[in-house]
């Protein structure tokens, strides 16, 4: 016979599992082919940054400026990275398309809602979410421009939310 602590643990675990399954079911109901088509169009709209293998990135660490390259992201059955998935980290959204291409964009509620209706959550390396930037000056400017636009969208979202109060 289980003691009360083990029973409480089992009940809590079962409740969390049931909530997770319900959230997955609700998410699946929201996912539509139309949303996938809309997201794929949005990925080429200029509001997303395509992360290609070999992209040189840099970040400032304890030893100063550190450079590295984005490695190939294996996608498929034998990989932890699956197509049509997304992840969010530190204000950056990353997606892996059906064809295995990786895109990132600064967080906005609107883009996250679009991603959530098209793809499933996954565990994806989210480039640029820990202070990295493209090493190439032109690409860095492109990323910084995306951040500026996203900040403006975030401010607009906050103003609209405040007006509803």
pLDDT tens-digit readout, 108-162: 999 999 999 999 999 888 999 999 999 999 999 999 999 999 999 999 988 988 8
What is the sign of the dihedral through the CA atoms of 158, 159, 164 and 165?
A: positive
pTM value is 0.77
For the segment 86-104, the average pLDDT, to the nearest whole number, is 94
What's the average model confidence in pLDDT over 13-27?
A: 61
pLDDT (0 to 100) of residue 20: 55
Neighbours of 36 (CB within 10 A): 16
Examine the pLDDT at 48 and tell me if it is beyond 80: yes
Tens-place pLDDT, residues 50-77: 999 899 999 988 888 899 999 877 776 7
In the beta sheet, which residues pair with residue 68? 57
CA separation for the pair 150, 91 (Å, rounded): 10
CA-to-CA distance for 163 and 31, rounded, in angstroms?
30
Q: What is the pLDDT of residue 149?
A: 93
pLDDT on residue 72:
78
User: What CA–CA distance (Å, rounded) separates 163 from 165?
Assistant: 5
pLDDT of res. 27: 55
Q: What percent of the chain has pLDDT over 90?
A: 48
């Amino acid at each position: 016979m289980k003691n009360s602590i083990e029973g409480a643990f089992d009940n809590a675990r079962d409740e969390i599992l049931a909530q997770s399954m319900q959230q997955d079911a609700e998410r699946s109901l929201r996912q539509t082919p139309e949303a996938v088509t809309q997201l794929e169009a949005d990925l080429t709209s200029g509001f997303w940054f395509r992360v290609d293998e070999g992209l040189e990135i840099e970040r400032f660490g304890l030893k100063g400026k550190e450079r590295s390259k984005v490695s190939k992201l294996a996608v498929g059955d034998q990989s932890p990275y699956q197509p049509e998935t997304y992840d969010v980290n530190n204000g950056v959204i990353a997606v892996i398309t059906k064809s295995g291409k990786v895109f990132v964009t600064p967080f906005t509620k609107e883009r996250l809602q679009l991603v959530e209706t098209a793809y499933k959550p996954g565990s994806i390396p989210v480039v640029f979410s820990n202070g990295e930037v493209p090493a190439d000056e032109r690409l860095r400017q492109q990323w910084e421009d995306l951040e500026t636009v996203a900040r403006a969208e975030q401010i607009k979202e906050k103003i609209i939310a405040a007006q509803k109060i």
